[in-house]
Structure 1
């Protein structure tokens, strides 16, 4: 084996060091300036026997965790609103954390005006996230959402009707970290055998949600970890999103979906966790006995 001389060793060491610096710089640049603006749209079909036939083809759009502030501005938000309208949803659902620091944000009315442009013929609904309550934001957030035509759901539900008086329920529970969640109150008086979709900011509340007659839970909060590494997953997730942090999960009869959100918090980076709008298309599921004519 040929022995490496000192000059060759130093040359290889320098090349390795420069390569490492370039790779680190590229990764940081991508995570800081490219991926946070790579808005993705994911489409899923939700099938269930309790979804009325009249709701087959109904489109629900979920967005979450905008964190408007220093790192997510109004121009990007306007583009997101345009994208939402291009997707032509029937129902729009926001699962919390609109402003990063509500009491410090200077463009409250502008945000309400942008949200008011969202078109959804069957309704627009929202819940509190922890940032919406934080920073003395509880009243600020409610003002924005109600002014823009969103109905706030705080431990309550609404029935969405289509033809022939068929309906589904959209429910919302208060934030688990800074609010006063009441799951039982949320589902109180929902008629039996009603397909129920519940909004809860923190996904790890799914175990509590599964104790109630809810079929689909939509959450955010995790940002998909914001920064993930291959074969490792997210480096860190916020409290109450450590078990469930991205995509679909099944908890007993409850299906959970965790949206990656749009903005960032704490650090302005996203890596292997691009911002997301999620479109769910409802579909009545025909039982096998019905298919067989039995």
Structure 2
């Protein structure tokens, strides 16, 4: 039988454990940890003898104190050390929460991202928060966001339903980048009754003019069931791995498919997608079991 002293010791230990866990989830994992998620694969349709290292950064969500311009710069330096042939940015540079001490202006986070270097360049797409945080873009119902302009100003090309052919060692491959699938919010002030995407998968793929392999950049992984076999690999972010993850599953995932595309390398019917756990936080500054990460993919 437990004594009164033993009971309070047990309760005290439980409270201390909860506080420690909370401190880890709110402070250490979002701010102090940075993982490197590595994948190696030769997907269907990949050109023989084409060796390509892709470094991917997703879901930065620039804001103080969680993702300052200085921290973004440090992450970019670490990404450069990974010696990718090409670097991709998978969207959501703008903050996605109100629990901040200060917002980081697009001119600051884009300047930090401009420190990224790769022989075949740095290539970007937009995410839903980049659209949602831009009232002018919402009012216009499209065109471009302040994120598009900020990245263009520092020389980083943004792919909005666009495909571009690159080469390494004389062997070609394509980057095809989609505009965001959740770009336009519903609301009376916008004159929209439902959320609208600006992605055009068919139109983007129509720009691919030869048999070289295609890497598709799509912020939300929910597009994956529609991706044709012609695409060798899809790269996505958006989910943050659920931001809280236990035993390979997350209680909440911002996807209509739940945990199906929450995180990692998924193969369906011979098609491949890699979903990054991302770097920043959305809604609340909490991460547990899915620390911020840079993704490195070795193809071929």
The TM-score, its normalising length taken from structure 1, stands at: 0.86
Of residues 238, 243, 257 in structure 1, which corresponds to 2:254? 238
Of residues 125, 140, 150 in structure 1, which corresponds to 2:156? 150
Any unmatched runs of 5+ in structure 2?
Answer: 138-143, 184-196
Indicate the residue corresponding to 2:38 in structure 1: 43
Indicate the residue corresponding to 1:167 in structure 2: 172
- Greater radius of gyration (CA): 1
Indicate the residue corresponding to 1:186 in structure 2: 204
Structure 1 vs Structure 2 CA RMSD:
2.0
Q: 2:219, 2:236 within 8 Å by CA — same for their partners in 1?
A: yes
How far 1:250 moved relative to its partner?
A: 1.2
Of residues 240, 264, 267 in structure 1, which corresponds to 2:284? 267
Cα distance between partner residues in 1 of 2:94 and 2:111: 15
Q: Does 1:87 align with 2:92?
A: no
Indicate the residue corresponding to 1:124 in structure 2: 122
How far 1:53 moved relative to its partner?
A: 4.3
Change in Cα spacing, 1:152 to 1:44, as seen in structure 2 (3 Å) is same
Cα distance between partner residues in 2 of 1:159 and 1:240: 32
Q: 1:203, 1:240 within 8 Å by CA — same for their partners in 2?
A: no
Q: 1:203, 1:241 within 8 Å by CA — same for their partners in 2?
A: no
Cα distance between partner residues in 2 of 1:150 and 1:241: 32
Q: 2:59, 2:93 within 8 Å by CA — same for their partners in 1?
A: yes
Three-state SS of the structure 2 residue aligned to 1:215 is strand
Cα distance between partner residues in 2 of 1:101 and 1:19: 35
How far 1:54 moved relative to its partner?
A: 5.3
Q: Structure 2 matches for 1:2-17, cutoff 5 A?
A: 4=1, 8-17=2-11
The TM-score, its normalising length taken from structure 2, stands at: 0.85
